[in-house]
Each structure stands twice: as C-alpha cells, then as structure tokens.
Structure 1
Amino acid sequence: MKIEILGIGCPKCKQLTANAEEAVKELNIQAEIGKVMDIDKITEYGVMMTPGLAVDGKVVSSGKVLNKNEIKTILSGGGCEKNNSGSCGCCGN
C-alpha cells in the first residue's frame, strides 16, 4: 500500500503525516508513506486544498487533517472521506 500526503509541509500536513504513521502502526500493515510537496503534482491529483491524503494513487481526503481513527477506517476498507457536499472525493459515492 502506498500512502501519500499531499501538501507543502505546513503544520497541518505534518500532523496528517503523523496521524497516518500512527494509523499504519496500529493496523500493523505494510505501507509506504511518502510526501508530495510539488504544487503542480498536487494539482494533478485534483487537490485544491491541502493537506490531501492519497492511497494507492486515489485521493481519499483533501482540505482536512484526518485523525488517526478516520485514517484507520479508510485504510481498512471502511470507506472514503466525504466532502462538504456529502459525496466522496475519490469515488463519488
């Protein structure tokens, strides 16, 4: 599993990274956590508000610092993070 934190290194991005690391550790799963800090690459993902979280190339959250439990739910297949309109940012559900 590849997890990417999309952001320019702001405090919120750093907190999301820490939360993702904790979630991976608690779930005891194999995952590579990387950072995408290039603004052009971030916008290629369709993320206009950081931080963003992508799992295996799909954006599952943007503009919000997910807590550890929210990330654990996403990583364990429990769903995506809904946006303000109530639909998922990655699959539209």
Structure 2
Amino acid sequence: MKQIKVLGTGCANCRSTVALIEAVAHARGEAIALEKVEDMAAIVGYGVLATPGVVIDGQVVHAGGVPGRDKVESWFGA
C-alpha cells in the first residue's frame, strides 16, 4: 500500500490533486493511504515551496500545480 501525502493549504488545486490521485488509484485497483497535510511548517519541512506537493512513501514526487493524469499514473507503475 502506497503512503501518499498531498501537501497544500486546501486550495482548489490541492483538492483537485487529491481527487485525481484517488480516481487513478481507484481505476487501477490500488490500495493507498492518502493524507492531506495543511500545516505550512510540515510542508516546508519536505522542501516544498510551491503547492500542491505530493509525497509518496516519504519521497517528494511533485511540487507546484496540479499534476497531469499521465504523471499520476506513472506513480503507480505500469
């Protein structure tokens, strides 16, 4: 199970990122643990200065803007 964190203050882009990750995971039958992190100190602690950011299994994989569906799908492998 992938541990995924979406880093952001709850803006529309952050909500869109959460929805996209959930949709891709569901479509692929992937089990995920999704957490939203809205605390700015925690976000900066990951080195993310532009939100939304995405952390998978402790690794920052995206920062700034809503990721494209292709990029999100790549996080789940082929």
Quote how far apart the aligned CAs of 1:74 are. Answer: 1.7
| Length, aligned pairs only | 77
Task: Give the corresponding residue for 2:44.
Answer: 43
- How far 1:26 sits from its partner (Å)? 1.1
User: TM-score normalised to the size of structure 1?
Assistant: 0.78
TM-score normalised over the length of structure 2: 0.92
**1:5-24 matches, cutoff 5 A:** 5-24=6-25
Letter of the 2:76 counterpart:
L
Compute the displacement of 1:75 (Å): 2.1
- Which structure has more strand as a fraction of its residues? 2
Larger radius of gyration: 1
4+ aligned runs moved over 3 Å, structure 1: none
Q: Secondary structure at the match of 1:24?
A: helix
1:42-62 CA distance string (max 9 Å, x none): 000000000001101111000
Q: Determine what percentage of the aligned residue pairs are the same residue.
A: 31
2:35 corresponds to 1:34 = yes
Higher relative contact order (CA 8 A, sep 6+): 2
Higher helix share: 2
Structure 1, unaligned runs of 5 or more = 79-93
Q: Distance in 2 between matches of 1:34 and 1:68?
A: 19
Counterparts of 1:28 and 1:68, CA distance in 2 = 16
Partner of 1:35: helix, strand, or coil? strand
Task: Measure, in 1, the Cα distance between the counterparts of 2:8 and 2:53.
Answer: 7
> Unaligned 5+ residue runs, structure 2?
none
